[in-house]
Chain A
Amino acid sequence: MGDQKFPSPHEIETIPGTEGWERMYPYHYLFSTEDKERKTYEENMFWFNDGLHYPEPMYPFDIIWDEAWFLALSQFNTRIFMVPPAMGVDHRIINGNIYITPVPVSDPNEIQARIPLFMERAGYYFEHWDELHDNWEKKMREIINELKELKIKLLPEMEELAVVTKGLGTSSGYELLANYDKLIDLGIRCWQYHFEFLNLGYAAYVTFVDFCTRVFPDIPLQKVTQMVGGINVIIYQPDEELKKLAKLAVETGVADQILGGGTIDNVTRQLESSESGRTWLKAWDGAKDPWFYISTGTGWYHHDSSWNDDLNIPLNSIRLYIEKLKQGHGIDRPLAKIQEERERLVKEYRALLQTEEDRMTFDQLHSTSKLVFPYVENHLFFVEHWFHSIFWNKLREVSAIMKDHGFLNDIEDIWYLKRSEIKDALWDLVTGWATGSKAYGPLYWPKEIEWRKGVYQKFKEWTPPPAVGKPPETITEPFTIVLWGITNESMSAWAKLRDIGDPDKVTEITGFAGSPGVVEGIARVCRSVKEIDQLQDGEILVAPTTSPSWAPAFQKIKACVTDVGGIMCHAAIVCREYGVPAIVGTGQGTSIIKTGMYIKVDGSTGKVNIKR
């Protein structure tokens, strides 16, 4: 970062035509000069753009997860585990982009006072990790069940007679308000659980990373992660299910029907007519919950749909696997090889340590990181994929009611409302329904949403500065260390790219060395998982990001380049497993590289060369 200077957060100007954008987001997210103390605080902190979680500007509703982690992460540091030098992470928004800053404990006496508390509390979690983790999984399954069972019901012209005969005493209007509140509450609670282990997981991981880089200044982060990464973690399970279904299709002789059957509806109709077809369909249905709740994106945005939202996606992936099987290729993850390679890595790095003390420290930190790291990977499936996928659709049910009542022109318009505004609008709607008068919403919201869409478009075209405010000497908050480490490196690489200007002239772009190896070949740009069926064998996949739902693509490709993601992202992990080079977090790979271009990918140095 060196002598890099960043603008003051108060210097950033509003984009012309977006004046008034502030009302789209929680008021306390705004930088402000009105109060002197707050202004000074904001100027002296270091706020960096969380581009890793948010490659796109925030939708007013989607900011819910940002608010959720603002609270959850912070409370665990500050009030629960009493992390001695670190409090929470503060959040702001500029032109639709989230900026975050870690808040340190500045009083040395307070740090000292927090030490024994931290040792006791965090120590307890590390000591009882497995038991607490089992309990966590139980809580997660319960909350997901609660979410599934939450009913968003239409408002009837007249309530059922049962309301009277059972003496219920409440109306559907009240239920709608209450269930909306409950929906939001479940989301926020789920994110409380999200951070129960994450801070400590990161703390252990960061300590191991730090030790490794001190002993081996040249060690790639990739290798440290490989030494602690889970092998049989749950996040791979959706893909495993597809492989099982592909094998079953071949075994039961329905493979050709699936390959040539067209859409999932047609395939289902055909398969229902035979015994073996029905067997396969039963297995297919059995995999849907929970495994098809895997998101096609990161799960952070409402538009990250899941396989269950479009069953043709997993179906097409199964087709890829069936083809592989028919060609006589194995499709299983080379588990034994991965395991062996990981053990070799640990053994060889350990053998290079010079003292008995270092070997002891290495063993301590490695075994703890290995214990906690699977959580870092697994929680994603429970929260961001499974829970979120159901959550977004529940909210679409709310949206459908609002659309029915003329509040919205389209179900997908709801994302332009803050969650508090939805609550207000529902009150408007429900009281109108109750009273038999006309609600105000239809006059207000469609117009406001049109305007917000225009603002959002302008936010999208704007390039946020990587950071604002004053950089500190050190960062002590474990989560930020990981996040900033990744963000900072990619930001400076992206900044370099911006300086080049004309995207048609760029011949080299840089990202993280995600998975080693050098290959050359034809690029195929896939902007979403729906496009992976266009991939030809041996092409280089260029994508905005990938998620476990993209897994089948990795069977075909020679290398992978993504716009977003760090060393622990899905593409990097999977490519390392398949021994395919990957460069992740290039910032603009998909906007510079075009399908058909001949490119060279060096997964050890993180450079993509474009042959022009």
Chain B
Amino acid sequence: MEQREKYVLWFQECDLSSVPLVGGKCASLGELLKAQIPVPPGFAVTTETYNRFIEENGIDEEINRLLKPVRPEDTASGEMASRAIRLLIESKPISIELEDYIGEFYRLLSNRCQVPAAPVAVRSSATAEDLPGASFAGQQDTFLWVRGVDGILHHIRKCWSSLFTARAIAYRKKMGFEDTAVSISVGIQKMVNAFTAGVMFTLNPANGDRSTIVIDANWGFGESVVSGLCTPDNFQVNKVTLEIAKRTISAKECFFTTNFETQCVEQHECPPERACNQCIIDEEAIELARIGKLIEAHYGKPMDIEWAIDKDLPAGGRVLILQSRPETVWSGRKCEPVCPPKSSVMDHILAGLLAGKKVR
């Protein structure tokens, strides 16, 4: 194994077999890329990096010492240990060699995004055995709009130290897991700079038709669509043929975008000359639907997907998938045959004739 592959891995180099090295989140991003589903680009800082960091700084003894007095029923003792350990981890240096691996990958990522120091999200990616459910760690330990190597190294340590939140310590105590045996990976992922964004269903939410993909889209970040703050453009794409069957262009009153000074996402009113323009071109809608089809095939069920079209990435690779979850409304219904089975075609024809065709 090449040395750097021990410490940093592009998402596209990860798959389910690399969970112990890159954690569940990064592994699943790798799986999506393998299925040709474009997620925002980035890389994983592996559990090995964390282990070596602990080793180089010689702090595992210290951590063990601080964990000793923790009693599962005594929350205060857990919180005290957590504060001390996290401070310890966050205050220790990362060695030049590790910094070089991470810094080089960050530089390559920035290059690809065609910006000097790409804003990234830094988030922890837990390996399966140490934390119950990915959502546990994920929520607290995501740092958005981080820029520059120093900022990244700083937030990586914050993610590492999140192994020792009071909750995590208590959980391991309860389950009898060895604290020093656990490790953590960190994902560094490009912040999406959405030109347009929205949601996509791989069925028609209005009638449950599984041969239709429905896309809602607005300028800027997807918040305006997800929150229902604006009436988005709506596209119906035939899932089988990937043709646009229907497009409804709406007056899109507002949109969300980044303020480059504050690095915050802000709501803006949409200038009238832009509000009624179709916000994604037909080719993008078709590309989205094509990807929607891949996602559905990947998960084996109709999906509800958040997507964005990135301003920074090179043409042809701008469509990005941010989140996919199973569609619940129609998929949750009991699956019944549309038409009772019959032994012969004649029976079907007869039934059809007797029912007739409604004309009003």
In the complex, chain B residues whose CB is within 8 Å of the CB of A210:
352, 357
| Cβ contacts B241-255/A at 8 Å (1 or 0 each) | 101111100000000
Contact partner of B339 (CB less than 8 A), chosen from A46, A223, A358, A473, is A358
A59 to chain B, nearest CB (A): 30
Docked-complex contact A218 and B338, CB < 8 angstroms: no
The 5 closest A-B pairs by CB, nearest first: A474-B356, A357-B337, A476-B356, A207-B352, A357-B341
CA distance A248 to B241 in the complex (A): 37
Docked-complex contact A604 and B345, CB < 8 angstroms: no
Supposing A352-B210, A361-B341 touch, asked if A218 and B204 sit within 8 A by C-beta, the answer is: yes
Taking residues whose C-beta sits less than 8 angstroms from the other chain, chain A's interface range is 35 or more
Docked-complex contact A2 and B360, CB < 8 angstroms: yes
Taking residues whose C-beta sits less than 8 angstroms from the other chain, chain B's interface range is 35 or more
CA distance A25 to B342 in the complex (A): 47
**Interface hits, A104-135 → B, CB 8 Å:** 111, 115, 118-119, 122-123, 126
Docked-complex contact A475 and B357, CB < 8 angstroms: yes
Docked-complex contact B338 and A211, CB < 8 angstroms: yes
A518 to chain B, nearest CB (A): 7
A15 at the interface (CB under 8 A from B): no
A402 to chain B, nearest CB (A): 45
A110 to chain B, nearest CB (A): 13
A-B contact pairs, 15 of them (CB 8 A): A85-B354, A118-B350, A206-B357, A216-B209, A216-B211, A223-B238, A345-B241, A349-B211, A361-B348, A364-B342, A364-B348, A472-B360, A475-B356, A485-B357, A517-B243
Docked-complex contact A217 and B246, CB < 8 angstroms: no
A478 at the interface (CB under 8 A from B): yes
With contacts defined as CB atoms under 8 Å apart, how many contacts are there between chain A and chain B in the complex? 139
| Cβ contacts B282-294/A at 8 Å (1 or 0 each) | 1000000000000
Docked-complex contact B348 and A211, CB < 8 angstroms: yes
Docked-complex contact B240 and A518, CB < 8 angstroms: no
Supposing A210-B357, A218-B236, A476-B353 touch, asked if A368 and B345 sit within 8 A by C-beta, the answer is: yes
Closest to A363 in B: B345
Binding site for A on B (CB under 8 A): 204, 207, 209-212, 236, 238-241, 243-247, 282, 335-342, 344-346, 348-350, 352-360
In the complex, chain A residues whose CB is within 8 Å of the CB of B246:
605
Docked-complex contact A218 and B350, CB < 8 angstroms: no
In the complex, chain A residues whose CB is within 8 Å of the CB of B359:
1, 46, 471-475, 484, 488
Supposing A210-B357, A349-B211, A354-B210 touch, asked if A218 and B245 sit within 8 A by C-beta, the answer is: yes
In the complex, chain A residues whose CB is within 8 Å of the CB of B210:
216, 352, 354
Closest to B247 in A: A605
A211 to chain B, nearest CB (A): 6
In the complex, chain B residues whose CB is within 8 Å of the CB of A365:
345, 348
Closest to B204 in A: A218
Given A220-B238, A354-B335, A358-B337, 20 additional A-B pairs, CB 8 A: A1-B360, A83-B353, A216-B211, A216-B212, A217-B209, A219-B209, A348-B240, A352-B211, A360-B341, A364-B342, A471-B360, A472-B359, A472-B360, A473-B358, A474-B356, A474-B359, A478-B353, A484-B359, A517-B243, A605-B245
B241 to chain A, nearest CB (A): 7
Closest to A83 in B: B353
A294 at the interface (CB under 8 A from B): no
A105 to chain B, nearest CB (A): 10
Docked-complex contact A207 and B342, CB < 8 angstroms: no
CA distance A123 to B346 in the complex (A): 6
Closest to B336 in A: A355
Docked-complex contact A474 and B211, CB < 8 angstroms: no
CA distance A2 to B358 in the complex (A): 11
CA distance A122 to B357 in the complex (A): 20
Docked-complex contact A474 and B338, CB < 8 angstroms: no
A541 at the interface (CB under 8 A from B): no
CA distance A220 to B356 in the complex (A): 20
Docked-complex contact B239 and A203, CB < 8 angstroms: no
CA distance A223 to B242 in the complex (A): 12
A57 to chain B, nearest CB (A): 26
Docked-complex contact B349 and A122, CB < 8 angstroms: yes
Docked-complex contact A119 and B346, CB < 8 angstroms: yes
CA distance A203 to B357 in the complex (A): 12
A439 at the interface (CB under 8 A from B): no
Docked-complex contact A352 and B349, CB < 8 angstroms: no
A163 at the interface (CB under 8 A from B): no
CA distance A2 to B359 in the complex (A): 8
A106 to chain B, nearest CB (A): 12
Supposing A214-B339, A348-B240, A361-B337 touch, asked if A203 and B349 sit within 8 A by C-beta, the answer is: yes
**Interface hits, A324-378 → B, CB 8 Å:** 344-345, 348-349, 352, 354-355, 357-358, 360-361, 364-365, 368
In the complex, chain A residues whose CB is within 8 Å of the CB of B236:
218
CA distance A485 to B338 in the complex (A): 22
Docked-complex contact B350 and A223, CB < 8 angstroms: no
Contact partner of B354 (CB less than 8 A), chosen from A358, A476, A481, is A476
In the complex, chain A residues whose CB is within 8 Å of the CB of B341:
357, 360-361
A84 at the interface (CB under 8 A from B): yes
CA distance A517 to B283 in the complex (A): 11
Docked-complex contact A211 and B345, CB < 8 angstroms: no
In the complex, chain B residues whose CB is within 8 Å of the CB of A516:
241, 243
Contact partner of A518 (CB less than 8 A), chosen from B239, B282, B355, is B282
B333 to chain A, nearest CB (A): 10
A204 at the interface (CB under 8 A from B): yes
CA distance A115 to B350 in the complex (A): 8
Docked-complex contact B240 and A220, CB < 8 angstroms: no
In the complex, chain B residues whose CB is within 8 Å of the CB of A204:
345, 349
